[in-house]
Structures are given as structure tokens and as C-alpha cells.
């Protein structure tokens, strides 16, 4: 089977160094294996979508010399596929409506698993009939079993969703499908065999695996890259370092990203055309250098 990887940005702003790290990691992982690489724009949530951001991201990727093998897919155009998956889960009795309000949910204790800061939903609406007049979300009934997988970078992972997160929303009160459902449907539709993304998404993976099982879809391999943080430990996208990338020195920036990814690119390649640097990086990609690393600190010497 051909290796197929993907980069799936949400168009909430321009590409920044942190998201470039995820794009580069997923690209090198797929290309090193001689595989294909796709781009999917996750514009699932219109209120969060910034006009022009998708075009801007694609333009930046092009300027850095990325090539994608198939036309870009937009989640805003995939509602029918998500609806079909949702109906399937509904027919199986695996979803139920939940009318809990935001303030009721906020009063819940945080889960204890240490992996995520999300709340544990105790299943309040599992057996509660909903009144027609109420507005409600739909939750997926999580299995009460340990979900186990080996992450290519972060190692062995295990989570019992019933104990840690509880039943989670797959269709929101406003009618929009949630990221968890969309990502699972799209990764399967695009035949993605390797999901390489930031470690901030690691705790989502057991939920996605549970949905894949319920929908009888294959589970790809997962590898979660360390997150680029500033000196204060803040995720780049949330800090002042999250400025849009400048495109005037793409080779120097890519070189720095490779350095952040512990690939030790030869200094001489900084002066070469970006294609030479890509060629070196694809040939030498070694994700084992990142084993168990969760954070990569951006030092001040880096400029981008
Ligand atoms: N769209 C998500 C984000 O930008 C990434 C989803 C994924 O890679 O699974 O954070």
C-alpha cells in the first residue's frame, strides 16, 4: 500500500512557524517513504474561518516548495459525507442528543488523565428524553475499554475514553459537525495511512480511533511531532512568535525548521536552492531523533 500523509490546517490565520513544523514533518515522513502527501483545509467552522486564510496558507506552502499530489479538499464542502457517517452511527444507536447547557458543562470536574484539559462528561443525557423544543448537540457513546496505540514518535499510548473524556460531541448544537467526526471521515476518504501532526492533538487520537472502529474505517498510523514553544513554554500559535512567515528567505526558514526537528541539516545547504535542501531532508528524515520529545524550544537566534 502506498504511504499517504496529509497536512490539515484550519484556516484561522496565516501559516506560522509552529504550523510549518507540522507541515514539514508530515511531508518528510510521507516523502521519505516514497509516498504521497495531500493538503486538506479544515474550514469546518465558519465562525472561526478567516476569509483569505486558506489561500494564504496554500500560497505559503507553495513558496516553501511543497507539492501536493491531489487537489486540495475543503471540509466546508464535505457535509454530505459527514451526515452519512452521522446517520450510520445514529442507526447503530451510538449517538444521543444532549441538551446540557454550557454552564452545566462548565460546572463539571476536569478529567484526571493528565493527557488533556478537557472536561469529563458524565453521560447526563444518555438516558434522558429530549423535549422537541430544546436545542441539542449529539454525543457519541464511547466504549468503556482501553484504547491502545503506538505513536511513531511519542510511543505507547492508552486511554479509556469512558473514564477520561466521556461521551463527546460529534454534531454541535448549531448543526455543525465536530472536528473529531470530520477528520475521521476525511482521513479514511483520502486513504491516509500516516497521520503526522502536532502533539497538541495527541489526546484527540483515542477519540478518533473509537470513531473509526464504530464506523468500520481503518486506523492510520499516528506520529505526533513536538510542539514549537517560545522561551516561556507557550505554544507558538498563542504567543507573539506566531507572526506570519516571511517568504523572502524560504531556504533559511526551512533549514531552521529542520534544525527544530532535530534533523541536523548541513550548514552549507543554507546557501543552496530550497530544492537541494528538500532533497537532503527527504533522504535523511529520521523521526527517531524526536522520540518522546513533546516540546521544541525556539531560541532567540532563530529569525523567520
Ligand atoms: N485542523 C487541525 C488544526 O489545524 C489539525 C487536524 C489534524 O491534523 O488532525 O489544528
Fold match, 4-76+189-200+224-297 / 79-186+206-215: yes
pLDDT at 115: 43
**pLDDT attached to residue 228:** 86
Residue with cell 499517504: 4
Query: Which atom of ligand 1 lies at the shortest distance from residue 198's CA?
Result: 8
The per-residue pLDDT for 239 is: 53
pLDDT value for 128:
84
pLDDT score at 69: 98
Nearest to 109 by CA among 124, 120, 98, 101: 120
Low pLDDT (below 70) residues in the chain: 108-117, 237-243, 299-304
CA dist 48 and 52 (Å) reads 12
Ligand 1 mean position, distance from CA 207 (Å)? 14
In the sheet with 194-198, reading across from the earlier edge strand, the strands are 73-74, 36-41, 4-7, 194-198, 221-225
Please give the DSSP secondary-structure letter assigned to residue 13.
Answer: S
Task: Give domain limits for the chain.
Answer: 4-76+189-200+224-297, 79-186+206-215
Centroid of ligand 1 to alpha carbon of 238 (angstroms): 15
Is residue 8 in contact with ligand 1, taking CB distance under 6 Å? yes
Query: By C-alpha distance, which of 295, 289, 292, 282 is closest to 29?
Result: 282
CB burial of residue 2 (10 Å; 0-12, 13-18, 19+) = exposed
**125 CB within 6 A, ligand 1:** no
What is the DSSP pairing of strand 95-98 with strand 137-140?
antiparallel
Q: What's the CA-to-centroid distance between 267 and ligand 1, angstroms?
A: 32
What is 79-186+206-215's CATH superfamily? HUPs (3.40.50.620)
Phi–psi pair at 184, nearest 5 degrees: -70, -45
Q: Tell me how far the alpha carbon of residue 167 lies from the centroid of ligand 1, in angstroms.
A: 21
Indicate the top mutation candidate among 7, 12, 21, 42 to test ligand 1's pocket, ranked by most ligand atoms within 8 A of CB: 42
What's the fold here for domain 4-76+189-200+224-297? Rossmann fold (3.40.50)
Report pLDDT for 102: 78
pTM summary value = 0.93
Per-residue confidence (pLDDT) for residue 243, from 0 to 100: 67
What would the DSSP string read from start to end of 138-161? Answer: EEE---SSEEEEEETTTEEEEEEH
Ligand 1 centre from 131 Cα, in Å?
A: 35
Amino acid at each position: 500500500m502506498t504511504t499517504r500523509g496529509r497536512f490539515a490546517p484550519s484556516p484561522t490565520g496565516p501559516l506560522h512557524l509552529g504550523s510549518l513544523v507540522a507541515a514539514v514533518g508530515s511531508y518528510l515522513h510521507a516523502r521519505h517513504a516514497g509516498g504521497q502527501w495531500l493538503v486538506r483545509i479544515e474550514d469546518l467552522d465558519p465562525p472561526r474561518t478567516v476569509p483569505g486564510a486558506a489561500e494564504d496558507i496554500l500560497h505559503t506552502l507553495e513558496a516553501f516548495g511543497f507539492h501536493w499530489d491531489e487537489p486540495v479538499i475543503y471540509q466546508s464542502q464535505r457535509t454530505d459525507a459527514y451526515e452519512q457517517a452521522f446517520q450510520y452511527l445514529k442507526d447503530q444507536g451510538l449517538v444521543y442528543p444532549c441538551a446540557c447547557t454550557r454552564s452545566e458543562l462548565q460546572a463539571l470536574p476536569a478529567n484526571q488523565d493528565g493527557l488533556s484539559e478537557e472536561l469529563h462528561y458524565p453521560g447526563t443525557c444518555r438516558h434522558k428524553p429530549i423535549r422537541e423544543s430544546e436545542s441539542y448537540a449529539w454525543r457519541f457513546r464511547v466504549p468503556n475499554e482501553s484504547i491502545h496505540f503506538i505513536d511513531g514518535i511519542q510511543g505507547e499510548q492508552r486511554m479509556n475514553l469512558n473514564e477520561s473524556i466521556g461521551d463527546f460531541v460529534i454534531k454541535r448544537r448549531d448543526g455543525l459537525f465536530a472536528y473529531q467526526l470530520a477528520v475521521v471521515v476525511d482521513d479514511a476518504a483520502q486513504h491516509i495511512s500516516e497521520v503526522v501532526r502536532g502533539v497538541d492533538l495527541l489526546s484527540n487520537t483515542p477519540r478518533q480511533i473509537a470513531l473509526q472502529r464504530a464506523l468500520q474505517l481503518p486506523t492510520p498510523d499516528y506520529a505526533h511531532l513536538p510542539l514549537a514553544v517560545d522561551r516561556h513554554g507557550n505554544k507558538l500559535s498563542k504567543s507573539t512568535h506566531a507572526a506570519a512567515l516571511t517568504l523572502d528567505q524560504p531556504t533559511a526558514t526551512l533549514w531552521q525548521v529542520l534544525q527544530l526537528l532535530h534533523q541536523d541539516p548541513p550548514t552549507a545547504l543554507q546557501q543552496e536552492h530550497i530544492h537541494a535542501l528538500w532533497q537532503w531532508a527527504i533522504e535523511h528524515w529520521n523521526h527517531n531523533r524526536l522520540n518522546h520529545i513533546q516540546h521544541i524550544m525556539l531560541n532567540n537566534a532563530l529569525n523567520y
